Structure 1
């Protein structure tokens, strides 16, 4: 089973990388770009067949290591099996 964790800075937390991306897009001629927020995506392969247990485990991973919950939010997705 595979899980995806998406981690983003919370609203109101300064995002200098997002600002740099927005500036670079404008410099490249892309018009109408508003606020840009930059984050990270982590995919984890799990040896687990129960989706609820997998999600609970990945949420613990996010809380304990993958996200700094003081300044970041996270979303956990259990991905469908690709084997078929």
Structure 2
């Protein structure tokens, strides 16, 4: 059994309106030292696989097909055997 922790973020070239709104709120709250905020997603997936390589292939496919939009998002993941 493997556990994948997946992080999906907008590409640097893509405007993040949610991040801009959070940055504005932080400034309003007095945290004027904050220069940028980017919002992303964190997912945890448990899966059965024969080995780590098979798990990596499966998680990569999941990210490319479902969890991220490759046009505007990047993904990375950490994989651990549990």
Normalised by the length of structure 2, the TM-score is 0.91
CA RMSD of aligned residues (A): 1.2
What is the rounded CA distance, in whole Å, between the counterparts of 1:46 and 1:63 in structure 2? 17
Flag structure 2 segments of 5+ consecutive residues without an equivalent.
none
Query: Where has structure 1 moved over 3 Å in runs of 4 or more?
Result: none
Normalization by structure 1: what TM-score? 0.89
Q: Distance in 2 between matches of 1:79 and 1:21?
A: 32
Query: What number of residue pairs does the alignment pair up?
Result: 81
Unaligned runs of 5+ in 1: none
Q: As a proportion of its length, which structure holds more strand? A: 2
In 2, the alpha carbon distance for the partners of 1:38 and 1:23 equals 14
